[in-house]
Structure 1
Amino acid sequence: MAFDSLSEKFQNIFSGLKRKGKLTEADIKAASREIKLALLEADVNFKVVKQFTKTVSERAKGSEVLKSLTPGQQFIKIINDEMTRLLGGEIQKMEFVDKGANIFMMVGLQGAGKTTTAGKLANLLRKEKKLKPLLVACDVYRPAAIKQLQVLGEQLDIPVFTMDGETDPRLIARQGVKKANDEGYDLVIIDTAGRLQIDETLMTELVDIRDLVEPTEILLVVDGMTGQESVNVADEFNKQLDISGVVLTKMDGDTRGGAALSIAYTTGKAIKYMGVGEKLSDIELFYPDRMASRILGMGDVLSLIDKAQSMVDEEKARELEEKLRNSEFDLNDFLDQLKQLQQMGNLSSLLEMMPGAGKLKGMDLSMADGQTKQTEAIIYSMTPEERRKPQIINGSRRKRIANGSGTSVADVNRLLKGFEQSRKMMKQMGSMGKAKKGRFKMPFM
């Protein structure tokens, strides 16, 4: 995640605060200085850093901290509150019209990820809001931009409106919206052109498109890796177009993350979504309070729950519940559970959402992800009957499975032993679930 380094620094600051029985003004001053340095190193805008540390220091010097029985915890709460406020305060969800098409205009510099984000957003809103989307290709300048959007549309089974040979994006945008209104599309996402830097020609074109189609939302797509420069970009786009919100991309990379901590404060416009991976499903609503918790190393359990629920197949969940109650859970079911877990992301990204995950920073979590692949390989090397009845796997079968999966007999033994222990545990859970029918859920979730 983009805030790994910053989160680690905050955890070190908090550890020092928690060890103190009481805090003095000198302690608060020293901690504020460390926070200031950590934020500046994360490439947060210096004006934002100055205001943030000033507010935190002023609140911390009040009686609620200095006279508290748990001053360290109170100080951390103040930092969390101010971090949430810095990120925009409350979540700002999209506004949708009841009649006609919702028109979203995607704007931003070249390379920020507008085209991919347009596809991701169309896919997300089709699932969540049951909208019928149409993508409109208005980037007539970047080589292969239109083709890229068409490929995305094919992958997602979402239609893309283009006009072969037309070089005026204003006309394409207007005709795209007309097609949507004529054919009953209730979501139009316009992929506009970008530039390597802001220029007058670009802005005039975008203003013209805005005035022609009257978009419901104007979303600025910003590369989360660009740091302080993103603040200047966001400020200029906002002045010219009066953007309605921001989408941060590439927030899964090893970046300093300063953009997220600066844009909402400097523009006054909310971050509404963030891209968290390369998959077309890797886009999430931006929750300021949850992001603040993640930055401060407190985890983000609510987002983890949301992610799990979005991946759960309800019909399969009911089938699994019945199997658990009847002690019929086998290695095929175990494999299905592993696949659902993998769909949620790698173990490293999931652990980042758990409170106290900062303590695991020194671990090579890629080994755990590799273990999952090994487990899959072993199960795939079994016959259908062996997956259904693991108890029939004797010594010769174990050797064959190990050879087939490129593992050792010891690895096969370890998997079978772990599976049997899991099945016993789930059988107990299943019997408990009988007493509370309807409340028993998927064990691995």
Structure 2
Amino acid sequence: MACRLADSMFLFMAPHQRPVGSQKLACLHSPGISQLKLENIVTKGIQHKKCSIPIRRGKFLQAVAVPVAPASADSDSAEYRKQLAESYGFKQIGEPLPDNVTLRDVVDTLPKKVFEIDDVKAWKSVLISATSYALGLFLISKAPWYLLPLAWAWTGTAVTGFFVIGHDCAHKSFSKNKLVEDIVGTLAFLPLIYPYEPWRFKHDRHHAKTNMLAEDTAWHPVWKEEFDSSPLLRKAIIFGYGPFRPWMSIAHWLMWHFDVKKFRPNEVKRVKISLACVFAFMAIGWPLIIFKTGIMGWIKYWLMPWLGYHFWMSTFTMVHHTAPHIPFKSSNEWNAAQAQLNGTVHCDYPSWIEILCHDINVHIPHHISSRIPSYNLRAAHKSIQENWGKYLNEASWNWRLMKTIMTVCHVYDKEQNYVAFDQLAPEDSRPIKFLKSTMPDYA
């Protein structure tokens, strides 16, 4: 679930990356994972080599190639991972998963009951979302202007619950009746103006190719060639992957889901049915809202909660799969178990968000097996913690975590994973510098 922008100004599909142009970067390779060191990382007791990147006006930015230790790590490496986690805003950075572990090995450790569909629990989630969404609309209708942002935040989060219900339907984990799943999924997506079948086809590719460099359809690093292709595109990318990143799913929604040409011939019929449903909802629902409440009512009751939903859509997805130490791999280097277990982030959010969004952020078990219903994700995560806990990346949502993603995780680099925009183009990166100076550092 925040997002690669195929065929848009935000994504370049070139198969290879050029060297880092005129920037001089020399870093030590390590047995673990190499990545860029944040300025405030603590390095006491750790031996590594520094390197410097000359940038304009005679300033130097120091970077360090730092290892995430393998499973046989000594105490220094364990302490290092702890320090790295604190620097990035994580609770834990997992040890690299051994190469001989397969995804089937992980799935086989899960209790069979976590795969069981429970109709009562499934329809309870529908009741929670419908009730919380109705409450949100009521709050919007009654709130004075200065409390409207709170009402919009609640309603946008509540309607995100509809997305999670449709998400379960798409993964065939909502009901044993597949027709019921398709109907419920289509209806759940309508308030979001999301065509169900196009999203389902696209999302299945994300699960099959998680953190695969060119094939993953979720968040994706910027290519260096794209970044250098034109000054105008560069500025758009900097804004898109910087301050606008919590709403980048809007571009993804627009570019991926309404173009029939993006789908296989055997998918087109179902895609067209979903598109017809969405356009019918827009043609009937939007005029009714405007007729009853006016244009301002449409903004107040639909647009603002929809923007709130996209904030969570983008934020959840980028937090699930984006961190300086988590690599995107080319298809010939990609390992399913490493990508799904070791490359997916579990993030705890405030309880009211977890309830309204049906535990979608208990995300590691969902990538181990997408057939696990949302109401069983916590039980599955507990099992994974017991059997594979030292390999997990875990966080609680916080400012430092968001700041790390929005100001560091930018341009793809094979050795470091990411190079920040302000290292490559400091003169164009004022939005990133603004985020660095204004976003809080506390976790």
**The TM-score by the shorter chain falls in which range?**
under 0.3
> TM-score w.r.t. structure 1 length?
0.25
Which is higher, the Rg of structure 1 or of structure 2? 1
Higher RCO (CA-CA < 8 Å; seq separation 6+): 2
